[in-house]
Copies of this chain bind each other. A is one copy, B any other.
Amino acid sequence: MTLKANPGNYFEDFRLGVQIYHATPRTVTVGDVALYSSLYGTRFAVQSADTFAQKIGYPRSPIDDFLVFHIVFGKTVPDISLNAVANLGYAGCRFLKPVYPGDTLHAVSEVVGLKENSNHQTGVVYVHSKGFNQNNEQVLDYFRYVMVRKRDMDAEASAEHIPNLPKVVPVTQLGTACPIIDTRAYDFARAGSPYRWGDYEKGEKIDHVDGMTIEEAEHMIATRLYQNTARVHFNQLTEGQARFGRRLVYGGHIISLARALSFNGLANAFHVAAINGGRHVAPVFADATIFAWSEVLETAELPDRDDVGALRLRTIAAKDKPCTQFPLKAATEEYHPAAVLDLDYWVLLPK
């Protein structure tokens, strides 16, 4: 008789270069789309209306980019981060192909870096994760680094290797998941805003105004929808006795809330092309009200494309604090105490 429940991998179980084929493949459907919509209230026209998507060049509405991300990410959890202490960050995340209802996603990760911490109790694992559709076409590519517990303090860990992660996804790598858009057919009134790519400027700050309060049922329904099994989100009995005394809201839930809130000010930023980096700078628990604001870090043209342009955004989510004053930090300071998410990403807008 063997122990058949999955205890998850500990730091010393990871080996550089190992490929991990993750369970469980998952067919994404209009049912998932409806749930995602109901959990975040997202309103981007391309993802909301097949007719809108078809007019501009998609075969139908694609699945929301972050829903794709969360589903692929969720698959990696049982193998990568079941024994995580802290999710440190993402890097070089690119959306490579659109995903449509009916597509089936699966995921593979490669261990690309390992660094034991000096306390010998934890270490940082760097993985390169890939999401694929049913035709084995890659739809998503990203790096993640996460601090993982050791099973045994005395276990010898692999030699340290810290990979060179991309700081920013270069503009030349953006847009493969976005078909050529017929911008004349793009109905700005129906999309909810007159502002095109050219209307945004580097340094511009946008308060997304609205706040959304999180309920326990909501973040758990979302996180299970992604088949993310990280225990800290679901088990009040255990978490009640742990460091926060509360179930922790999945960081991706905050990303999706911030993205949905960002519609108010960025209604035509219909596609997330890449995530340069993301940090969950403070834990979030149910009953928090999430606000968000964005700064345009960069505006960029895509090589060989005149249909869409890219904005590099930094979106900050804050809890229990409206963002009229753009709470964040100065370059060398700590984060504002209300800040919970610092997300650096590329979006595409019609030109």
Contacts and interface: CB of A to CB of B under 8 A. Distances in A.
Interface residues of A, number: 84
Interface in A1-29: 1-2, 4-7, 21-27, 29
B5 A24 contact: no
A190 B289 CA distance: 38
Copies in the complex: 3
A235 interface: yes
Given A34-B32, A234-B211, A51 B24 contact: no
B227 A51 contact: no
Interface in A36-72: 37-41, 43-45, 48-52, 61
Contacts of A104: 49-52
Nearest to A34: B31
A168 interface: no
A231 interface: yes
Interface string A81-118: 00000000000000000000010101000000000000
Given A78-B192, A106-B190, A204 B1 contact: yes
Nearest to A221: B38
B267 A23 contact: yes
A74 to B, nearest CB: 9
A330 interface: no
Nearest to A79: B192
A180 interface: no
A245 to B, nearest CB: 13
A220 B215 contact: yes
A235 B264 contact: no
A176 interface: no
18 contacts: A4-B195, A4-B266, A6-B265, A22-B190, A24-B45, A25-B45, A25-B49, A25-B51, A31-B34, A31-B35, A34-B35, A210-B235, A212-B235, A213-B220, A213-B236, A213-B237, A215-B217, A218-B221
